[in-house]
Chains A and B, each alone.
Chain A
Amino acid sequence: QKEVEQNSGPLSVPEGAIASLNCTYSDRGSQSFFWYRQYSGKSPELIMFIYSNGDKEDGRFTAQLNKASQYVSLLIRDSQPSDSATYLCAVTLPSNTGNQFYFGTGTSLTVIP
């Protein structure tokens, strides 16, 4: 079982709509949660991180964490064509050699003008 699961998509939304990306994780010991955006041919860029249950908002982005249900989601409001990218979910798990990062395989988002 993978530590982090994402629907690979592709997810298509019209411009101006809300894009909703979901991620589930398998280990209840997971501590920190991240969303990275990766444009084609580029490296992942950290866009959101969340450490406690609830919502965290940053501009058009909202990260939602539900530890009881073991999922973390990313909402993108007023989606723009420039939001078209692959979104990677990541979690950290503590170990005796420090926290380890685990990444999902990513969800491809296309925003249609």
Chain B
Amino acid sequence: KAGVTQTPRYLIKTRGQQVTLSCSPISGHRSVSWYQQTPGQGLQFLFEYFSETQRNKGNFPGRFSGRQFSNSRSEMNVSTLELGDSALYLCASRRSGAQETQYFGPGTRLLVL
């Protein structure tokens, strides 16, 4: 079974721009979560999508948004980029059920200049 894929893997943007990141979960997984990871803050939960609906949301400003498509692929968008948005953005695919497990993709490293 293929793992979680994320594109692009690396991205350089300038302040004020916007960016869209993509995630394809493991086949059969309907839940996708997004996390931001920075050296100082650790893993911060952004949001979770399940069957095209946002199920949970972390404490991030409205500049961060996401969506999920009918094939479970998900995108997240960050508008009006700030220097502090430089981070590793991780997508996690969740196998739901009695023994729920979550697997991470390789991440997208975003650098905002």
Of the candidates A32, A43, A105, the one whose C-beta lies within 8 Å of that of B105 is A43
B43 interface residue, CB < 8 Å from A?
A: yes
For B, the interface residue count at a CB cutoff of 8 angstroms equals 22
The minimal Cβ–Cβ distance linking A17 to chain B, given in whole angstroms, is 27
Helix, strand, loop or mixed for chain B's interface? strand
Contact yes or no, A105 B42, CB < 8 A: yes
Instruction: Select one of B42, B96, B101 contacting A49, CB under 8 A.
Output: B101
Number of interface residues of A (CB under 8 A): 22
Nearest chain B residue, comparing its CB with the CB of A98: B55
**Contact among A36, A88, A92, A105 with B100 in the assembled complex (CB-CB below 8 Å):** A92
- Do residues A46 and B101 form an inter-chain contact, with CB atoms below 8 A? yes
Contact mask for chain B residues 28-61; partner A; CB cutoff 8 A; 1 contact, 0 none: 0001010000000011010010100001100000
| Interface, chain B (partner A; CB < 8 A) | 31, 33, 42-43, 45, 48, 50, 55-56, 88, 90, 92, 96, 99-107
